[in-house]
Amino acid sequence: MRKGRIDYRMQRRAVLRDVLAGLRDVQDVRDAHPDLVRAGTHIGSDVREDCPLCEDARLRHVTYVFRDRDRRAQGGRAVPRESLASQLDRYGDLAVYTVEVCLGCHWHHLVESYLLLARDTAAG
């Protein structure tokens, strides 16, 4: 089950507003790590909308999983979204982060985060 979903659309809009208003350098938000761009290319899922900065249609969502719920573990792993169920079976509870990345200009931003739990702990 999914739990504790956080939506980062408001933060995303605020960043874009600042960039468009010239309050923030566009290069600061087009600095996706090469690993993120690579993950977006190979295992990212297509996003219906275009990049908000360059209008490139190659906008992708990349799913990261962290085994430690508190994110103390070193680094998450980018995984295909379709594999989440099997990741949960194999590793147990996961923290999941969805990141948007543009393959054209390297814009990137966090989209959502949530916990994927093997069972409903609140019920136990």
CB of 58 to Zn ion, least distance (A): 8
Q: How far is the CB of 37 from Zn ion (least distance, A)?
A: 11
Q: Any contact of residue 102 with Zn ion (CB under 5 A)?
A: yes
Under a CB-based contact definition with an 8 Å cutoff, are residues 51 and 65 in contact?
Answer: no
Is there a contact between 79 and 64 (Cβ–Cβ < 8 Å)? yes
Closest C-alpha to 84, from 40, 45, 50: 45
Tell whether the torsion through CA atoms of 49, 52, 54 and 55 is positive or negative.
positive
Site string (14-53) toward Zn ion, x via CB under 5 A: -------------------------------------x-x
Question: Contact residues for Zn ion (CB under 5 A)?
Answer: 51, 53-54, 56, 102, 104-105, 107
